[in-house]
Structure 1
Amino acid sequence: MRDKLIMATGNAGKVREIAAILADEYEEVISMKQAGISVEIIEDADSFLGNARKKALAISVVTDYDVVADDSGLCVDGLGGRPGVYSARYSESGTDADNNQKLVKEVSLLDKEGRKAHYVCAIVLARKGKEIFSCEGTCDGCIITEPAGEGGFGYDPYFYLEKYGQTFGQMDPVKKNQISHRAVALQKLKTFLEEEH
């Protein structure tokens, strides 16, 4: 088992999700803040993978621990893939409430087909300034206009998975950690780490 993994994020929800999935690979998964790392990273790439790569490499040059960065977001078919790489800062304020309000306003004009959406998660593992592994995971659903559930974070209460009859906001976290876009990408990372040992 590896010692520590530093997540190139300040998002506590992401750290919890990733720690649960990679518990067998690392003794401890911590955020940049918990590791005492403060690096300003501007996420200006035009892809999820580009943003994840930028974050992972920037953090990995200031620590001896493995660094994983992810960039994830929501892509709505009828909105031409928006919010996309701007998911976290879709509204002017960038708060979950305002992002969701803007999304609902925009999708309320779309038919059922246009509300089809998918979450994307790109993950990059870096060590000492070098990219070791990268991958993407996706999860398909559709956007509803009334929130359902208190769980998850971000757009989760509006992301409905027809196959399960519930939103990510309603879904048990254990189940979400098995099927989410992040879970799909992290499973690929976990397989890589197991084979690397």
Structure 2
Amino acid sequence: MATLVIATKNAGKAREYGQLFAPFGIEVKTLADFPAFKINENGQTFEQNALIKARTAVDHLGLPVIADDSGLVVDALAGAPGVHSARYAGDHDDAANNAKLLRALTGVPAVNRTAHFHTTIVALKPDGAKLITEGRVDGTIRQQPRGNNGFGYDPLFIPREYPDKTMAELTIDQKNQISHRGRAMRALMAKFEGWWQA
């Protein structure tokens, strides 16, 4: 059985990809299945970071890899937190990140609190064959967090498709239909077979 590595240690992400690739007879593994190695995510864009993750993993493992990078882009903050979204106020501290974002937007009126979530996915083979897809969801940033179904900046983000709800108030199905990651993954699956068989 052919093996495809997802450049994450997140078991939930691995399950999600595993279901997508099951019809292709592909065994999905993650970085947690291999000895640890360092990935230096120092890119300036989501695509650069996803490529760094993918290339580093391909070089270490000699297997096809899928990597992604995501974040929140706030127009009034010149695109911040952007590629630093997960570590905006420290290391993967959602509450601190949200508090810092709200402080940064103090005094910014609702009409100027536009933002979008972005995901770039990179699929890379040892021979260099590459597939890149993107997804985004547009919306605005609330004054206070609301909802318990999400993570990261979800409690502050009101998607355009649901103007009376935050991402953290949507059901899993509603979120998957509009989410940046969902859109990037659907774009990936539309082209995946051609890349995998090439």
TM-score normalised by length of structure 1: 0.86
What's the offset of the Cα at 1:20?
A: 5.3
The C-alpha deviation readout for 1:65-122, integer Å capped at 9, x for no partner, is: 4311111100011111100111111013441111111012222321112211001101
Task: Give the equivalent residue in structure 1 for 2:9.
Answer: 10
Residues 11-160 of structure 1: matches in 2 within 5 Å?
11-12=10-11, 14-15=13-14, 17-19=16-18, 22=21, 24-25=23-24, 27-33=26-32, 35-128=33-126, 130-160=128-158
Q: Which moved more, 1:151-160 or 1:162-171?
A: 162-171
* RMSD of aligned Cα (Å): 2.3
Larger Rg: 2
2:191 maps to 1:192: yes
Instruction: Give yes or no for contact 2:136–2:183 (8 Å, CA) kept in 1.
Output: yes
Instruction: Give yes or no for contact 2:138–2:160 (8 Å, CA) kept in 1.
Output: no
Change in Cα spacing, 1:67 to 1:84, as seen in structure 2 (3 Å) is: same
* Aligned positions, number: 195
Gaps spanning 5+ residues in structure 1: where?
Answer: none
Compare the two structures and name the one with the higher strand fraction. 1
What's the offset of the Cα at 1:12?
A: 4.5
Within 2, Cα distance between the matches of 1:60 and 1:162? 37
Within 2, Cα distance between the matches of 1:175 and 1:23? 23
What's the offset of the Cα at 1:140?
A: 0.4
Instruction: Give yes or no for contact 1:21–1:186 (8 Å, CA) kept in 2.
Output: no
Compare the two structures and name the one with the higher helix fraction. 2
Within 2, Cα distance between the matches of 1:103 and 1:15? 29
Task: Give the equivalent residue in structure 2 for 1:169.
Answer: 168
The C-alpha deviation readout for 1:106-149, integer Å capped at 9, x for no partner, is: 22321112211001101110112625211221110111132222
Letter aligned with residue 165 of structure 2 = Q
Gaps spanning 5+ residues in structure 2: where?
Answer: none
Within 1, Cα distance between the matches of 2:175 and 2:169? 10
Change in Cα spacing, 1:36 to 1:76, as seen in structure 2 (3 Å) is: same
Q: Between the two proteins, what is the percent identity of the paired residues?
A: 38
Structure number with the bigger relative contact order (C-alpha 8 A, sep ≥ 6) is: 1
What's the offset of the Cα at 1:27?
A: 4.7
Change in Cα spacing, 1:11 to 1:142, as seen in structure 2 (3 Å) is: farther
